[in-house]
Amino acid sequence: MGQMDGMVAIVTGASRGLGRAIAKAYAEEGAGVVISARSQSPTGLAGTLEETANDIRDAGGDVFAVSCDVTDEAQVNDMVRKAVDQYGRIDVLFNNAGMMVLGETIMDIDAPRWEQLMRINVNGPYLCSRAVLPTMIEQQRGSIINIGSRMATDPNQGGGVLYSASKAAVHMFSYCLADEVREHNIAVNILSPGGLRSEGSAAIPWTQRDWHERVDPSAIGPLAVYLALQDASTFTGQLASRFDFGTTWGPSIEP
């Protein structure tokens, strides 16, 4: 028996890296997993939805893949509708789809690139959360997990004006949404995974300086499973850092 037997989870940005790892972790725990991503990476990174789906099916998991651009409201609504048609419910939304622009100044970043990253990192969680909430409210239970970052709160982490601003927006969006939906027993939390050895990170030259300190995305699986199991009565409106898992939050830690 898995911890997520009978649950249904949506994972965005699931074609590679953290999204793929979380989708696999949820499936291993018994959830029906809806995976989504754009049909092609705008940055040209390797990895496809089909590969993630095959990994899950090969391990005996239940997966449903839907191509979706999280910046497009019509595509997001269609993805959620297909998820409900397929499984009849939505218990978890893991808003993983994102984009990084690091090491560039405001003068390096033109308006179209600023708007593109904000649409993905900020509008994406907004559109996906808004689309799943009617189902979660009807169920009177759910868990929404947004990806945060140390760069949202510490300018010395090197996030720069664009990425750090987008993640700070995600943090405040999550805190406010948690209060807004608390009465419906829906948890909203921020997961800050720290440095990862992912395809996206590998493409950033300066990440090589701390590559030995980074972890494989699969190490985040237990954290994401724990958050998926929460509701507003147990754990919500929190910034959950990987570095504090098992000490200030997680199994056996009193809320």
Per-residue pLDDT tens for 8-38? 999 999 999 999 999 999 999 999 999 999 9
163 assigned to active site: yes
C-alpha–C-alpha distance, residues 112 and 27, integer Å = 37
How many CB atoms are located within 10 Å of the residue 224 CB? 28
Q: Which pTM does this prediction carry? A: 0.92
In a domain, 36, yes or no: yes
E strand or H helix at 32:
strand 32-37
In a domain, 158, yes or no: yes
pLDDT at 102: 85
C-alpha–C-alpha distance, residues 162 and 99, integer Å = 10
Going by pLDDT thresholds of 50, 70 and 90, the confidence category of residue 41 is: low
Catalytic choice (26, 126, 163, 226): 163
Per-residue pLDDT tens for 168-195? 999 999 999 999 999 999 999 999 998 8
> In the predicted model, what is the mean pLDDT of the chain?
92
Domain that holds residue 191: 8-244
In a domain, 255, yes or no: no
In a domain, 184, yes or no: yes
In a domain, 1, yes or no: no
In a domain, 250, yes or no: no
CATH code, domain carrying 40: 3.40.50.720
If one counts the domains in the chain, the total is 1
In a domain, 69, yes or no: yes
What percent of the chain has a predicted confidence (pLDDT) above 70?
Answer: 89
pLDDT at 215: 84
In a domain, 45, yes or no: yes
Taking alpha carbons only, the member of 96, 98, 97, 25 closest to residue 63 is: 25
Residue 79 scores a pLDDT above 90? yes
Task: Kindly give, in sequence order, each residue whose CB lies less than 8 Å from that of residue 237, ignoring residues fewer than 6 positions away.
Answer: 174, 175, 178, 179, 182, 188, 189
